[in-house]
Every structure is written in structure tokens, then in C-alpha cells.
Amino acid sequence: MAMSFAIFAPLANTINARLGQGELLFSVEFGAAVLANVLFQLPIGRLSDRYGRRPFLLFGFVLLLPTTLLQGIVTTPAAMIALRFLQGLSVAAVFAPSLALAGELAGTGKSGSTLSILTMGFGLGIAFGTLLSGILVGFGFAVPFVVATVGGAVGLGLVYTQVPETNALRVRRYRRVTDAPARRSRTAQVSARSASSESAVAARRSAMVQYHAPRTPLVSFGTGSASGTSASSWKTTTRSVSLKGSISAVQSSAVSGPGSPRVCGTRSVTRA
């Protein structure tokens, strides 16, 4: 990133001759990148606190590649100003979140050394960019911009494969979203097991329930007329619930006392 930003300044005379412009337009082109970097660092930093560092790092490197490469192709000052402004936006998208990322990755008591390594790398990029631009421009005007684009592509690959998300809020939100189907599946399984267990308990309870109807004294009659005895017949009906859920009625035979009249099972019986 730093090398892509730094190759522009040493090529002032070459750029002015190519675009047919004076020092004023070159100053505007150079300042457009710095202005965009200043304007966008604060809002990008705040957004990275909310949405994470990694998305803005990736966005910055993706935007850096075409804006750097096209600077070696354009032939008008207006196009160069627009490209430089977008390049400044890409630098802001990388620089602010990278500082926050370095601080979050640093161990306890090591934030200073970690940030110093980051700023040292930025300074080395500036140094190599200014040096290489003066050498590579001898092979063609677009060559320095092509080499800087290749360096930016390498940086994009490293960020995509090696840089984790360190913003705790973003990590928790991401885990909630990705774990939601698994949580719903576990909840459904627990509900199914609970319903199955409740059904089994209810079945066992119903199988164990037995109730007995009260014994009812019955007066036996002969053929159409009641006998005058005081003896009575008793019938006990026991109902039990079978394991298959059907109710069977077991009726005992009528028991008659000594001297009781004849019991007619085929006749109607009335309660005493």
C-alpha cells in the first residue's frame, strides 16, 4: 500500500510532460490522495469498530489495485485527480483498521512494539516506492504502476488468507448468525425428546391406572315377580385398562345367599 502511494511524487516531471500540465495541477493530483485519506480515516475507523477490521482491509486493497494501475494509463489531468482521490480512500480503508488490528493482536504490554513494526513497514514501503519509481520509469511510464499493483495484489492475498477478525463485537455477531441453524436444530431435537418422554410417561401412567366400580346390590327376580326374601345378590364389576389402551370389563357371576330366589341371568335386573 505504501509503495503504491509513494511512486507518484518522484515522477512529477514525467507526469507533467505526459499529461501536458503544470505544477499546479500536479499539486492538486498529489493533494487529492492526501485529502481523501484525511477525510475518510475517522468515519472508516468508527465503522470498523462496529463491523470489524477485516472487511475494510479487504475493501481497501481491492480498491487500491485498479486505482494504482490506471494511473499509468490515463492521459488527462481530470482522470488522474479522480484516480488519486480514490487511491486516497483505499489508503484510509487500510491504514486506520490496520492500526486497530495491530493493537488488538498485540499481547499484554506489547502494543507499542507491535505498532512500531507496522509503522516501520509503512515507512519502508514509502522508501522503496520512491526508489523503485525512479528506476522502473526508465522501462516505460506504466511500469512503476504495474509493479506497485502486483505488490498490492500480494498484500490482498495475505490479508485474505492470514488476517483474522479481531473485533469482539463482530466476532460475536458472526457466531450468532452462523450458529443459529445449529441452535434451532438442537432445540428441535430437545423438544422432540421431551414430547416423546412425556408420551411414554403418560402411556405408563394410563397402563397402571385401575379403578373399581362400587359393588351394587341387586335384587333377583323370578319370572316377572319379585321374591319376598331379604337376600340380595351382589355383582362386582372390575374395569381395568389394558396395555393397548382398550378397556375390558370383567363381570363376575352373581352370588346368591342361602335361601335366595333363583337368579335369571337373562332377565332384566333393577337396583335395590
Domains and CATH numbers, the chain: 2-166 (1.20.1250.20), 210-272 (no CATH)
CA 224 – CA 201 distance, rounded (Å): 51
> Which is higher by pLDDT, 198 or 235?
198
Q: Rg (Cα) of the chain, in Å, rounded?
A: 46
> Across-strand partners of 216?
235
Taking all residues of the chain, what is their mean pLDDT, rounded to a whole number? Answer: 74
Question: Minimum mean pLDDT among 72-81, 101-110, 159-168, 241-250: which range?
Answer: 241-250
Res 139 pLDDT > 90: yes
CA 4 – CA 84 distance, rounded (Å): 11
Specify whether the CB–CB gap between 168 and 177 falls below 8 A. Answer: no
Res 215 pLDDT > 70: no
Specify whether the CB–CB gap between 63 and 93 falls below 8 A. Answer: yes
- pLDDT at residue 99, rounded to an integer: 83
Residue 213's pLDDT band (cuts 50, 70, 90): very low
Q: What is the DSSP letter of 265?
A: T
**pLDDT tens column, 4-32:** 888 998 999 999 999 999 999 999 999 99
Sheet architecture: strand order including 210-212: 210-212, 237-241, 247-251
Q: At 271, give phi and psi (nearest 5°).
A: -70, 150
- pLDDT over 90, % of the chain: 35
For 223-253, the DSSP string reads SSSB------EEE-EEEEE-TTS-EEEEEPP
Mean pLDDT of 19-46: 93
CA 232 – CA 243 distance, rounded (Å): 35
pTM confidence score: 0.60
Q: What is the DSSP letter of 267?
A: S
**pLDDT tens column, 65-114:** 999 999 999 999 999 999 999 999 999 999 888 888 887 777 677 777 77
Buried b (16+ CB within 10 A) or exposed e, 58-86: bbbbbbbbebbbbbbeeeebeebbbbbbb
